């Protein structure tokens, strides 16, 4: 049950501390390695086949290297002391989760909008989304924030938690490597279409089941919070596949229905208009800061539900193997 203890303690640490910018973080190291490799090998002068090859190499280097390093660190700690193993595993598990970080960034945007600082809110939302934000209206800033919280409920909370409970910090960090690669090079644009193709597809495959689990957890959460569960189910069932990503629509559709919002639609990325289908009822209301707060509540409930489910399943697995 040591892995379950690491996950629970890491979960609590994340809720208490968030992501202090000056603390050592494995994802920062991953990001630096990806950036250096990308600058060296994603060259416009190379053929599409060559860029795909180096993109594949990058994925296996980052994901495989993360797994080897994490396994070596945890193995070394286990040779010294079980309490050191627990402490180190707890910290690494904590770095895989981003509940509090999402909440903090969202609250910054809420405070800016409530203070009528739209320009500041645009810059803040630009820190957590990939789209262009310099021309967004207040409604669009709220919408972008809600979509990011909904999507990251799966990518930043549910998926890593499931990986942690299955394979401890090693599998959790390998998942973060997959997710970081997708967020940095998985764009469908001219620069990364070939180089990041494998990273984008691998992320879609690995998040397939977690996204659908998130759909269920958000649905249950909307019922527990007395949101519009009926519309959440209708929209969640109808629009869950209305997204360019095979996974992101699952969480966004539930949130859109539960809060009577219309999400998705066309957005600009790196100056290029990307057409996306709308998610939600056509008659839905405009997104406001109050809706961001409601989405954050849903995030918390889904996270606690997932933690409870994971610990229970881990307990019965451990009991069955004992």
Asked whether the CA dihedral 295, 173, 269, 211 is positive or negative, the reply is negative
Q: Token pair of 181, please?
A: 């690669």
Question: What does the pLDDT read at residue 133?
Answer: 86
Q: Which residue in 308, 296, 254 sits closest to 99, CA to CA? A: 296
Beta-carbon contacts of 209 under 8 Å, excluding residues fewer than 6 positions away, are 162
| Stated length of the chain | 322
d(C-alpha 237, C-alpha 249), whole Å: 10
d(C-alpha 245, C-alpha 155), whole Å: 12
pTM for the full predicted model:
0.93
Q: Which residues of the chain have pLDDT under 70?
A: 1, 318-322
Is the CB of residue 10 less than 8 Å from the CB of residue 163? no
Question: What does the pLDDT read at residue 277?
Answer: 87
Beta-carbon contacts of 34 under 8 Å, excluding residues fewer than 6 positions away, are 58, 62, 180, 181, 184, 185
What are 223-246's pLDDT values in tens digits?
Answer: 999 999 999 999 999 999 988 788
What is the separation of C-alpha 193 from the centre of its chain, rounded to a whole number of angstroms? 21
Question: What does the pLDDT read at residue 318?
Answer: 67
Is the CB of residue 43 less than 8 Å from the CB of residue 34? no
Question: What does the pLDDT read at residue 320?
Answer: 57
For residue 275, the SS3 value is: coil
272-274 and 267-269 strand pairing: antiparallel
Beta-carbon contacts of 228 under 8 Å, excluding residues fewer than 6 positions away, are 222, 257, 258, 259, 260
Q: Domain tally for the chain?
A: 1
Q: Token pair of 307, please?
A: 């933690």
Which residue has tokens 């269920």?
216
Question: What does the pLDDT read at residue 1?
Answer: 64
What are 90-100's pLDDT values in tens digits?
Answer: 999 999 999 99
User: Structural domain of residue 209, as residue ranges?
Assistant: 2-321
Question: What does the pLDDT read at residue 303?
Answer: 98
What is the separation of C-alpha 103 from the centre of its chain, rounded to a whole number of angstroms? 13
Q: Which helix (H) or strand (E) holds 272?
A: strand 272-274
Question: What does the pLDDT read at residue 319?
Answer: 64
Q: What angle do CA 150, 181, 145 make, to 5 degrees?
A: 25
d(C-alpha 50, C-alpha 195), whole Å: 8
Q: Return phi, psi of residue 265, to 5°.
A: 90, 175
d(C-alpha 103, C-alpha 297), whole Å: 9
Question: What does the pLDDT read at residue 209?
Answer: 96
What is the separation of C-alpha 169 from the centre of its chain, rounded to a whole number of angstroms? 17
Q: Token pair of 80, please?
A: 């010294």
């Amino acid at each position: 049950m040591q892995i379950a203890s690491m996950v629970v303690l890491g979960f609590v640490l994340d809720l208490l501390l968030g992501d202090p910018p000056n603390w050592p973080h494995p994802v920062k190291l991953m990001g630096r390695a990806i950036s250096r490799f990308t600058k060296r090998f994603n060259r416009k002068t190379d053929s599409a086949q060559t860029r795909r090859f180096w993109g594949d190499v990058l994925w296996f280097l980052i994901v495989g290297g993360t797994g080897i390093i994490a396994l070596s660190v945890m193995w070394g700690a286990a040779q010294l002391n079980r309490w050191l193993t627990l402490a180190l595993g707890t910290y690494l598990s904590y770095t895989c989760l981003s509940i509090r970080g999402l909440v903090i960034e969202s609250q910054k945007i809420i405070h800016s909008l409530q203070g009528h600082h739209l320009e500041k809110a645009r810059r803040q939302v630009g820190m957590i989304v990939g789209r262009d934000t310099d021309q967004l209206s207040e409604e669009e800033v709220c919408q972008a924030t809600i979509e990011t919280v909904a999507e990251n409920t799966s990518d930043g909370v549910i998926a890593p938690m499931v990986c942690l409970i299955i394979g401890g910090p090693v599998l959790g960090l390998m998942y973060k490597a997959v997710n970081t690669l997708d967020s940095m090079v998985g764009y469908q644009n001219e620069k990364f279409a070939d180089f990041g193709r494998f990273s984008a597809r691998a992320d879609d495959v690995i998040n397939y089941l977690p996204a659908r689990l998130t759909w269920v957890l958000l649905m249950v959460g909307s019922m527990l919070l007395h949101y519009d569960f009926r519309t959440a189910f209708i929209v969640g069932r109808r629009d869950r596949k209305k997204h360019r990503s095979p996974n992101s629509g699952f969480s966004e559709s539930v949130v859109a229905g539960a809060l009577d919002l219309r999400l998705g639609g066309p957005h600009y990325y790196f100056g290029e208009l990307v057409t996306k289908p709308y998610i939600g009822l056509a008659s839905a209301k405009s997104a406001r800061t109050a809706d961001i707060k409601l989405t954050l509540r849903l995030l918390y409930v889904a996270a606690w539900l997932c933690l409870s489910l994971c610990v229970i399943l881990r307990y019965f697995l451990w009991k069955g193997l004992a």
